[in-house]
Amino acid sequence: MTTTRAATELIRARSSWRSYDGRALEPRDRARLEEFIAALEAGPFGGRVRLQLVEPSSGDRAELKKLGTYGMVKGARTFLAGAVTQGPMDMEDYGCAFERVVLKATALELGTCWLGASFNRSGFAAKINLAQGEILPAVSPVGYVASSRTFVDATTRFFARAKKRKPWEELFFDGDFSTPLSPQAAGPYAEILEMVRLGPSASNRQPWRIVKERGEGVLHLFLRRTRGYNSRLINVPGGDLQRLDMGIACCHVELAARELELVGKWEVLEPPPRLELPERTSYVASWREA
Ligand SMILES: Cc1cc2nc3c(=O)[nH]c(=O)nc-3n(C[C@H](O)[C@H](O)[C@H](O)COP(=O)(O)O)c2cc1C
């Protein structure tokens, strides 16, 4: 059992799995995940997130259908689902908390796959008793992966170019958006930024942009929206997938910093940093080394 693997190793090891072997979670794995979920810290921006494992009552085919993924995921018996209370940073907080559990599942050698679009939203909402004022942004299968990926899984990965990531110069900047930040110039922050770069994102669009303050331990996170992408998906009730991606970035910053023994905290600056922004780009939050 490899529960003590470093967070950076888990971030490198994780990939989305849509093919499972049909087995229910072993009680031990289930207990460990549930224990982890129960002990989750609050989101970095104070949003109220609740997460839980859900599965249909045994053998109930109708219920299984309600927890469906439109054929995207095969053989999964258990899902991670949850809700966040509506608020200004709700998606970021949910994204961060959910990714923590995804990485815990990775540590337990369980497969996962963020699903922000391809799942039966009303079926899952009923299963978790979604309350008024709450949003259910995403779910994930959690289970033992099949020995090979299904055709749907393999083609989805092919079309999302799932293994590829944008190069550093498109994502990370030194002081302002016109100066790319190299790993050498990032010094101790290079590993933190690399962990953001390797993270999952909806359709692998990688909307995270980070400006590091020159000579300071401050990372300003920005969301560069993909043209035409969110205008479609923002209308999914409760779904702003690219803000979930930003929450994942926050999670990876936190975990990598902790591993490097860099202590810092999140803040949402008001007014936001005075920077000239590229198109479709907006400020999210800053991580400041203490
Ligand atoms: C917020 C979010 C939503 C996602 N929604 C879906 C989805 O609805 N269906 C799906 O098949 N994959 C979904 N994915 C998985 C991405 O396609 C995947 O993370 C990306 O292609 C990178 O591949 P990797 O996770 O294997 O590194 C989602 C990922 C994120 C982060």
**Domain residue spans of the chain:** 7-155, 168-289
CB of 208 shorter than 6 A to ligand 1? no
pLDDT, tens digit, 9 for 90 and up, residues 180-215: 999 999 999 999 999 999 999 999 999 999 999 998
CB of 253 shorter than 6 A to ligand 1? no
- By most ligand atoms within 8 Å of CB, the mutation choice from 140, 203, 232 for ligand 1 is 203
CB of 246 shorter than 6 A to ligand 1? no
DSSP track, 179-197: SBPPHHHHGGGHHHHHHHH
Helix and strand totals (H; E) in the chain: 11, 10
What ligand 1 atom has the least distance to the C-alpha of 244? 1
User: Over the chain, what is the mean pLDDT?
Assistant: 92
- By most ligand atoms within 8 Å of CB, the mutation choice from 197, 201, 225 for ligand 1 is 201
pLDDT, tens digit, 9 for 90 and up, residues 74-120: 999 999 999 999 999 999 999 999 999 999 999 999 999 999 988 99
- By most ligand atoms within 8 Å of CB, the mutation choice from 16, 96, 119, 159 for ligand 1 is 16
pLDDT for position 58: 66
Q: Are 7-155 and 168-289 equal in CATH topology? A: yes
Q: Mention every residue, 6+ apart, whose C-beta is less than 8 A from residue 113.
A: 16, 17, 18, 73, 140, 141
Could you say which of 3.40.50.10420, 2.60.120.260, 3.40.630.10, 3.40.109.10 is the CATH number of the domain covering 7-155?
3.40.109.10
* Least trusted range by pLDDT, from 61-75, 133-147, 214-228, 257-271: 61-75
The CATH code belonging to domain 168-289 is 3.40.109.30
pLDDT, tens digit, 9 for 90 and up, residues 224-283: 999 877 655 544 565 689 999 999 999 999 999 999 999 999 999 999 999 999 999 999
CB of 112 shorter than 6 A to ligand 1? no
In which band, very low, low, confident or very high, does the pLDDT at 67 lie, cut at 50, 70 and 90?
confident
CA of 216 to the centre of ligand 1 (A): 33
What ligand 1 atom has the least distance to the C-alpha of 161? 21
* pTM tops 0.75, yes or no: yes
In which band, very low, low, confident or very high, does the pLDDT at 2 lie, cut at 50, 70 and 90?
very low
In which band, very low, low, confident or very high, does the pLDDT at 1 lie, cut at 50, 70 and 90?
very low
Cα separation of 178 and 180, whole Å?
A: 6
Cα separation of 114 and 81, whole Å?
A: 10
Torsion, Cα 241 178 221 233, to 10 degrees, reads -10
In which band, very low, low, confident or very high, does the pLDDT at 48 lie, cut at 50, 70 and 90?
very high
CA of 5 to the centre of ligand 1 (A): 23
